[in-house]
Amino acid sequence: MKISVIGAGYVGLTTAACLAQIGHEVFCSESDLDKLTKLQGGGMPIFEPHLEEVIKAVRKAERLRFGSTDEAIAWGDAIFICVGTPPLPNGDADLHAIEAVARSIAKRASGYRLIIEKSTVPVQTGAQLRKHLSVHSTNGLRYDVASNPEFLREGTSVEDFLHPDRIVIGVDSPRAADMLREIYEPITKQEFVCPIHSDCPKRKAPIFLATDTNSAELIKHASNSFLAMKISFINMVANLCEVVGADVTKVAEGMGLDPRIGAAFLNPGIGFGGFCFPKDVQAFIRIAEKSGCDFSLLKEVEKINQRRVEHFVEQVRNELWVLRGKKIAVWGLAFKPNTDDVRFAPSIALVKSLVDEGANVRAYDPEAMGKAKSVLPNITYCSNPYEAAEGADALLIVTEWDEFRNVDWERLRSTVERPLILDGRNALNAAEAASHGFHYFSVGRPPVLPGQAGSAAIGASAFVGADIRKESF
């Protein structure tokens, strides 16, 4: 099918590349001219595992082209709208980019088009789009509007697109449902060349769920808000564990063994970030407010998350006493591993707070330093983790990159001034840290002193392969 994707952000670019990978002829547009020029020249505006290889291959096969919005509108029988919906100061999603695209489609397109909203939007945006298209249509456009929320995670977006658990569509006509079924057929039937796994195993087919448009739109916001709620919940349990001397890793494992709860998204830390959860929780709160529903539960989810960085800085202060003039190494700036994205990353608030108190921050991140430099200009960026740790009074783990888990302990010990680690992601092995003379603090677990095999040390060693349940007896 001829498909257009409007907006080459991380959702649009992944969607365009993967739809071309499964056999469609795709035209992807981008309004930012620098970004467009980069893409047309074979460059990548974002770091996302596998995406560059897929784009290279499908461009070579002439199934993906990049260009302007007008060209995209002229090209596709199906048009995916993947433009940004950033938060407004009051928490509402800013829909001006979607409105502008809808107006261009109404003015320029003729014949039949399936217009699909893939950007995360408030419920009833589909209804607004339909109204708007009919008001502005001048070329005899016939259309359906559908919702097709994405559930891609940054860092694994290509994998998530090609091997999803579910594909949700919100439609109000059989024609729209049939077209979307056809678009996703190679994925639902698993009949495509997988660019990730050379010997891709046959898996359980994803569930294809068709609903009305309002329900599909709500599924997206409700899913992200629910996952955010799980994270804030376990973060509060972590606080409780710190006070009563329990181990949150074991509590989370014990909870997660109940299939009604599930083990995923029960990792405590310094809070959720990124361009999705913080803005989607805010937007969902606003949607509920405007609909007269008291969803104050989500306000607590947000508050708990906002307090995570403060709580972490408080722990740093407890150890270092005065931060002014202290050398603090920060490992990780991206909001999570395998991405260079620092939007709404906890690292930003954390580093700003340390710098405001006069600390001398030396940071390292394998991918995100380029993007961090514009938001955090007053710190020293280092070319590897050990350079960041040189002479440090404390080392803070902010993003759980594998590179940090595989730390060379001897080298690290001889690099820092004071052997003190505050691990905001429970990423390092506590037993290793202690055996190399570090004082190790993590989230929701008792601190471990140099040479000590405390509860966090046991928990961390159990993490590495052993059956943690046996440790509990």
Using CB under 6 A, list all residues that contact ligand UGA. Answer: 120, 150-154, 224, 227, 231, 265-267, 269, 272-274, 276-277, 335-336
Smallest gap from Cβ 276 to ligand UGA, in A, equals 3
How far is residue 238's CA from residue 421's CA, in Å, rounded to a whole number?
Answer: 18
Quick one: how far is CA 186 from the chain centroid? 26
Smallest gap from Cβ 153 to ligand UGA, in A, equals 4
Residue 207 bridge partners (DSSP): 166
Residue with tokens 């407890």: 318
How far is residue 300's CA from residue 276's CA, in Å, rounded to a whole number?
Answer: 17
Is 4 or 426 the residue whose CB approaches ligand UGA more closely? 426
Is 225 or 360 the residue whose CB approaches ligand UGA more closely? 225
What six digits make up the tokens of 140? 């005899």
Smallest gap from Cβ 218 to ligand UGA, in A, equals 14
Is 179 or 342 the residue whose CB approaches ligand UGA more closely? 342
Are the beta carbons of 77 and 370 closer than 8 angstroms?
Answer: no
* Pairing mode of beta strands 360-364, 380-381: parallel
Is 144 or 154 the residue whose CB approaches ligand UGA more closely? 154
What is residue 258's DSSP assignment? S
What sign results for the dihedral spanned by CA atoms 365, 373, 93, 96?
negative
Is 153 or 352 the residue whose CB approaches ligand UGA more closely? 153
Q: Give whole-number Cα distances, 192 to 15, 19, 335, in Å.
A: 15, 10, 32
The three-class DSSP label of residue 87 is strand
Residue 330 bridge partners (DSSP): 363, 396
Smallest gap from Cβ 120 to ligand UGA, in A, equals 6
Q: Can you say whether residue 297 is alpha, beta or left, with left for phi > 0 and alpha for psi between -120 and 50 degrees?
A: alpha
What angle in degrees, to the nearest 10, is found between the helix axes of 296-320 and 213-244? 30
Q: Give whole-number Cα distances, 140 to 80, 107, 260, in Å.
A: 20, 9, 51
Is 220 or 362 the residue whose CB approaches ligand UGA more closely? 220
Smallest gap from Cβ 401 to ligand UGA, in A, equals 12
How far is residue 162's CA from residue 152's CA, in Å, rounded to a whole number?
Answer: 10
Question: Which residues make Cβ contacts (< 8 Å) with residue 467, sequence separation at least 6?
Answer: none
Is 230 or 326 the residue whose CB approaches ligand UGA more closely? 230
Alpha-helical runs (H) found in 321-418 = 346-356, 369-375, 385-389, 402-405, 409-415
Are the beta carbons of 439 and 449 closer than 8 angstroms?
Answer: yes
Smallest gap from Cβ 19 to ligand UGA, in A, equals 17
Smallest gap from Cβ 51 to ligand UGA, in A, equals 13
* Residue 276: active-site member: yes
Smallest gap from Cβ 441 to ligand UGA, in A, equals 17
What sign results for the dihedral spanned by CA atoms 302, 251, 346, 159?
negative
Are the beta carbons of 211 and 168 closer than 8 angstroms?
Answer: yes
Smallest gap from Cβ 334 to ligand UGA, in A, equals 9
Reference 398, options 332, 328, 308, 313; nearest CA is 332
Is 109 or 252 the residue whose CB approaches ligand UGA more closely? 252
Alpha-helical runs (H) found in 81-212 = 96-108, 125-136, 157-162, 174-188
Which residue in the list 200, 276, 293, 382 is annotated as catalytic? 276
Is 332 or 446 the residue whose CB approaches ligand UGA more closely? 332
Catalogue the active-site residues: 276
